[in-house]
């Protein structure tokens, strides 16, 4: 996942730093799925607007959907949750 995200960053107009954390999604006792949480981070500090960061994260989400065959990815910021399917 890290290599793919790095390649996606390099293929975009600018690079937004990311943090990738392995996680487990759980729904009751019958469902568990391993996955990742990918966060845009403001370190080192760069001069990008929230809209630029969100646009990059939407681009990354769409690329991950295609590359890894994901069914749903959520983009979460301070105000909204957007489900990309």
Residue 69: HSE in the Cβ half-sphere, 13 Å Cα cutoff: 0
Q: What is the pLDDT of residues 19-77, one digit of tens each?
A: 999 999 999 999 999 999 999 998 888 899 999 999 999 999 999 999 999 989 999 98
Flag whether the pTM goes above 0.85. yes
- Helices 2-10 and 50-68 pack at an angle, to 10 degrees, of 130
3-class SS of residue 75: strand
Q: Which two tokens stand for residue 85?
A: 């399917």
3-class SS of residue 78: coil
């Amino acid at each position: 996942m890290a290599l793919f995200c790095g390649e996606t960053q390099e293929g975009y107009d600018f690079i937004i730093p990311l943090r990738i954390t392995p996680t487990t999604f759980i729904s009751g006792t019958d469902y568990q799925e391993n996955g990742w949480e990918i966060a845009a981070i403001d370190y080192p500090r760069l001069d990008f607007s929230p809209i630029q960061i969100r646009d990059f994260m939407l681009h990354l989400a769409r690329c991950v959907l295609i590359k890894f065959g994901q069914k749903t990815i959520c983009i979460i910021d301070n105000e909204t949750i957007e489900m990309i399917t």
